[in-house]
Amino acid sequence: MRILTGLQPSGRLHIGNYFGAMEPAVRLQDEGEAFYFMANYHAMTSTGDPAALRENVRGLAIDFLACGLDPAKAFFFRQSDVPEVNELAWILSTVCPMGLLERCHSYKDKVAKGLSANHALFAYPVLMAADILLYDANLVPVGEDQKQHLEVTRDLVGKINERYGEGTLVLPEARIREDVAKVPGLDGQKMSKSYNNTIPIFGAQKKIRKLVMKIETDSTPIEAPKPTENSIILDLYRFFASEAEQAQLKADFEAGGFGYGDLKQRLFDAYWDYFAPMRERREELEKDDAYVEKVLADGAARAREEADKVLTRVRKAVGLR
Ligand code: TYM
């Protein structure tokens, strides 16, 4: 079985990315051949700053390694180090109806937010399909927001295989864990950089504590019981606490006598402890650029070999060879 996922290097990794994709990916690296990459071509749809792009890739690589990605097990690489992905994207785009892309939420949302719609933003899902199909991936662990992109990918496989023969491309499947599909942000909406409601997984203690204190709550007085339904604090706490701790926090909500400040502090403490070992590992990796570079170079070389096999097969099937 081949498992594949990508993350965009678009600044600080947040706990939505972590629980939606990174943590499942790290767990799955023992269950098959894993391909994990940093989608820097994709990130170009939202940044035009070369220094930031470079630095964000470096930061994301360190984050991923700190969080347990094992380069001895997984192929770990920069998307752009296997530029063949663009050729497959082109081939896919020849069978991709405009309507399929026009219907994509992520494109429609970005346009609605006033981002100017360049061709790359429109064609984003085709490149993402190519990312997946270039490695014959079977399973793609992602958060809920990528579901539609996986459907586009599957549609494109159907169209290619229908035209050029079964087996030209392998049909992948999304792996979306229900309980972590949509990690809420500080305001209760999906945690997302574009909503400015994220809690990063790494960063200065004071700064992150301040963010956690910003979680939206109602105005129930300290002594009164707090509503547990739709509580962002409780919803986030479940990621970091045992069942018993979760039950205790819920009971304290219901009993009253605790202010939201106290309850948020408990969430913050649990969060801070959870990422402690990763934070430590991250500090070590920060000092070892040469190691990180070597991991990515090796990963790219190995990934490229696999990509070549698939692309050779596809080129023959479509008549380029
Ligand atoms: P990106 O970089 O926006 O997000 C990376 C992963 O994090 C998940 N995620 C979340 N999961 C749960 N709750 C949230 N609040 C939350 N926010 C983000 C995303 O679903 C994603 O799995 N297009 C992709 C990158 C990509 C890719 C690929 C993924 C490029 N090529 C091929 C898989 C396969 C993206 O922008 O993810």
How do residues 36-50 score in pLDDT, each as one tens digit? 999 999 999 888 899
Helices and strands, number each (H, E), in the chain:
15, 5
Site to probe by mutation for ligand 1, drawn from 107, 128, 145, 149 as the one with most ligand atoms within 8 Å of Cβ, is 145
Residue nearest (by alpha carbon) to ligand 1 atom 24:
7
The CATH number for 266's domain is 1.10.240.10
Domain check: are 259 and 293 in the same one?
no
For residues 54 and 131, state if they share a domain: yes
If you measure from the C-alpha of residue 20 to the centroid of ligand 1, how many angstroms do you get, rounded to a whole number? 8
Three-state secondary-structure class, residue 184: strand
CATH number where 49 lies: 3.40.50.620
In a shared domain, residues 51 and 92? yes
Half-sphere exposure of residue 100: CA atoms within 13 angstroms, side-chain side? 21
Give me the active site residues, please.
110, 190, 193
Question: What average pLDDT does this structure show over 277-299?
Answer: 97
Question: How far apart are alpha carbons 42 and 120 in whole angstroms?
Answer: 8
Domain that holds residue 236: 203-274
Q: What is the mean pLDDT of residues 55-65?
A: 96
In Å, the largest CA–CA distance within the chain is 75
Are residues 173 and 207 located together in one domain of the fold? no
Ligand 1 neighbour 183 (Cβ under 6 A)? yes
Asked whether the whole model's pTM tops 0.85, one would answer yes
Average pLDDT for 171-178: 93
Q: Are residues 40 and 89 in the same domain?
A: yes
Give one DSSP letter per residue of 265-310, joined into a string.
Answer: HHHHHHHHHHTHHHHHHHHHHHT-HHHHHHHHHHHHHHHHHHHHHH
* DSSP letters spanning 77-138: EEGGGSTTHHHHHHHHHTT--HHHHHT-HHHHHHHHTT----HHHHHHHHHHHHHHHTTT--
Considering the domain architecture, whether residues 112 and 178 belong to the same structural domain is answered as yes
Query: Under 8 Å CB-to-CB from 17, ≥6 apart: which residues?
Result: 7, 143, 201
Q: Residue 57: its pLDDT value, please?
A: 97
Closest CA to ligand 1's atom 27: 6
- CB-ligand 1 contact for 92 (6 Å cutoff): no
Q: 3-state class of 171 per DSSP?
A: coil
pLDDT digits (tens, 9 = 90+) for 276-287: 999 999 999 999
Per-residue model confidence (pLDDT) at position 180: 78
Between 110 and 20, the more confident residue is 20
How many angstroms does the Cα of residue 183 sit away from the middle of ligand 1? 12
User: Is the domain of 91 the same as that of 36?
Assistant: yes
- Under 8 Å between Cβ of 272 and 237: no
- Alpha carbon distances (Å) from 228 to 136, 209, 251, 252: 44, 22, 9, 10
Give the residue whose CA is nearest to atom 19 of ligand 1: 143
Q: Kindly state whether residues 94 and 207 are assigned to the same domain.
A: no
DSSP notation for 236-257: HHTTTS-HHHHHHHHHHHHH--
Q: 91: pLDDT confidence band, cut at 50, 70 and 90?
A: very high
Query: What pLDDT digit, counting tens, does each position of 146-162 carry?
Result: 999 999 999 999 999 99
Q: Has residue 79 been placed in a domain? A: yes
Integer distance in angstroms from the first to the last C-alpha of the chain?
28
| Residue 11 confidence class, pLDDT cut points 50, 70, 90 | confident
Q: Give the number of domains in the chain.
A: 2
The CA 22 to ligand 1 mean position distance, Å, reads: 9
Which residue owns the Cα nearest ligand 1 atom 16?
16
Is residue 195 in some structural domain?
no
pLDDT level of residue 12 (50, 70, 90 thresholds):
confident
Is 131 near ligand 1, meaning CB less than 6 Å away?
A: yes
State the amino acid at position 220 in one-letter form: T
> Within this chain, do residues 105 and 221 fall inside the same structural domain, yes or no?
no
Stronger pLDDT, 263 or 193, i.e. the higher one: 263
Residue type at 69? L
User: Residue 109: pLDDT above 80?
Assistant: yes
The residue whose CB lies within 8 Å of the most ligand 1 atoms, and thus the one to mutate among 7, 115, 187, is 7
Q: Is the CB of 192 under 6 A from ligand 1?
A: yes
Closest CA to 307 of 131, 48, 50: 131
- 215 and 177 in one domain? no
Q: Is 68 left (phi over 0), alpha (psi -120 to 50) or beta?
A: left
